[in-house]
Structure 1
Amino acid sequence: MDFRTLMLYAHIAAGVVSLITMVIAYTTKKGPKAHAKVGRIYGYGMIGVGLTAVILFFMGASTFLLLIAFFSTYLVLVGWRFASNRKGAVTGIDTALMQFGFLGGIALLAFGAYIFTAGTPPFGMSKSFGIAPIVFGVISIALATQQYILNRDGISARGKKRISLHVTYMGAGTISTVTAFTITIFDHSVFTWLGATAIGTPLLIWNQMGVSKGKIASSVTSDEQD
Structure 2
Amino acid sequence: MEFIFSVLRVLHIIGGFVSLFVFWVPIVTKKGGKLHYTFGWIYVYGMIVVAISAFYMGFYRIFLDHSSTKEIISFSWFLIFISILSSAAAYYGLRVLRNKNRKKKHTHLLDLSYPILLLISGIAISIYGFIHEIPLLSWFPIVGFFLGITQLSYWLQKPTRKMHWWFEHFAGMLACCISTITAFVVFGAPRLLNIESVSIILWFLPTIIITPLIIGLSIYYGRKFNKP
Scaled by the length of structure 2, the TM-score of the pair is 0.77
Give the equivalent residue in structure 1 for 2:69. Answer: none
Partner of 1:45: 46
Could you tell me which amino acid in structure 2 is paired with residue 2 of structure 1?
F
Aligned partner letter, 2:49: G
How many Å apart are 1:71 and its aligned residue?
0.4
Cα distance 1:136–1:188, how it changes in 2: closer, same or farther (>3 A)?
Answer: farther
Which residue is equivalent to 1:218? none
Deviations 1:164-211 (A, max 9, x none): 111111111111211111111232653233221111111222222222
If the length of structure 1 is used for normalisation, what is the TM-score? 0.78
In 2: Cα distance, 1:10 partner to 1:158 partner: 41
Aligned match of 2:149: 142
Consecutive unaligned residues in structure 2, runs of 5 or more: 63-75, 191-196
The CA distance in 1 between the partners of 2:9 and 2:154, in whole Å, is 33
Residue matched to 2:130: 116
Residue 192 of structure 1: aligned partner: 202
Which AA in structure 2 matches 1:162? W
Shift of 1:141: 2.6
- 1:175–1:196 Cα contact (<8 Å) kept: yes
Distance 1:197 1:60, change over 3 A: same
SS at the partner of 1:30? Answer: coil
1:180 pairs with 2:159:
no
Which 10-residue stretch deviates more, 4-13 or 28-37?
A: 28-37
Deviations 1:55-84 (A, max 9, x none): 212321602211112101110111122234
Instruction: Tell me the secondary structure at the aligned position of residue 59 of structure 1.
Output: helix
**Structure 2 CA distance for aligned equivalents of residues 93 and 11 of structure 1:** 33
Structure 1 residue 160: deviation in Å? Answer: 1.6
Matched, 1:96 2:115: no
Alpha-carbon RMSD across the aligned residues, in angstroms, is 2.8
Contact 1:105-1:141 within 8 A present in 2 as well: yes
The amino acid that maps onto 1:77 is: Y
| Structure-to-structure mapping, 1:80-91, within 5 angstroms | 80-88=94-102
Q: Which residue of 1 aligns with 2:224?
A: 214
Contact 1:101 1:140 in 2 (8 A): yes
Kindly indicate whether the alpha-carbon contact (under 8 Å) linking 1:57 and 1:63 is maintained by their aligned counterparts in 2.
yes
Structure 1, unmatched stretches of 5+, are: 216-226
**Aligned counterpart, 2:5:** 4
Q: In the TM superposition, what is the alpha-carbon distance from 1:140 to its structure 2 partner? A: 3.1
- Taking a change above 3 Å as real, the CA distance of residues 89 and 4 of structure 1, as seen in their structure-2 partners, is farther
If asked which structure has higher relative contact order (CA below 8 Å, sep 6+), I would say 1
More displaced stretch, 8-17 vs 140-149: 140-149
> CA 1:79 to 1:139, structure 2 compared with 1: closer, same or farther past 3 Å?
same
Q: Give yes or no for the alignment of 1:63 onto 2:77.
A: yes
Alpha-carbon distance in 2 for matches of 1:89, 1:42 = 30
Q: Aligned to 1:209, what secondary structure does the other structure show?
A: helix
CA distance in 2, matches of 1:160, 1:9: 40
Q: In 2, are the aligned partners of 1:132 and 1:194 still within 8 Å (CA)?
A: no
Mapped pair 1:76 → 2:83? no
